[in-house]
Amino acid sequence: MIERSQVDVNQTWDLSHLFKTEEVFNEALEDLKGKVEAFQKEYEGQITTAHQVNVGL
């Protein structure tokens, strides 16, 4: 996968409305990665019904 910096700016989303700086974006991304890992640890192999899908969401 190519880096965002390698993509023509006209082909990227303007994230400045969501994140004031790239540093703030990267902090949010790292926080999300941690949440994804925690979600995976808690639910991997455990979701077998539609109800459990709803609980997981």
What integer pLDDT is reported at residue 13 of this predicted model? 87
What integer pLDDT is reported at residue 18 of this predicted model? 94
What would the two tokens of residue 35 be? 């949440």
Quick: pLDDT tens for 14-54: 888 999 998 999 999 999 999 999 999 988 888 899 998 88
* Sign of the torsion angle spanned by Cα atoms 4, 7, 13, 16: positive
Instruction: Report domain extents, the chain.
Output: 4-56
What span, in angstroms and rounded, lies between the C-alpha atoms of 2 and 10?
15
What span, in angstroms and rounded, lies between the C-alpha atoms of 45 and 29?
25
Element (H or E) spanning 35, and its range? helix 22-43
What integer pLDDT is reported at residue 34 of this predicted model? 98
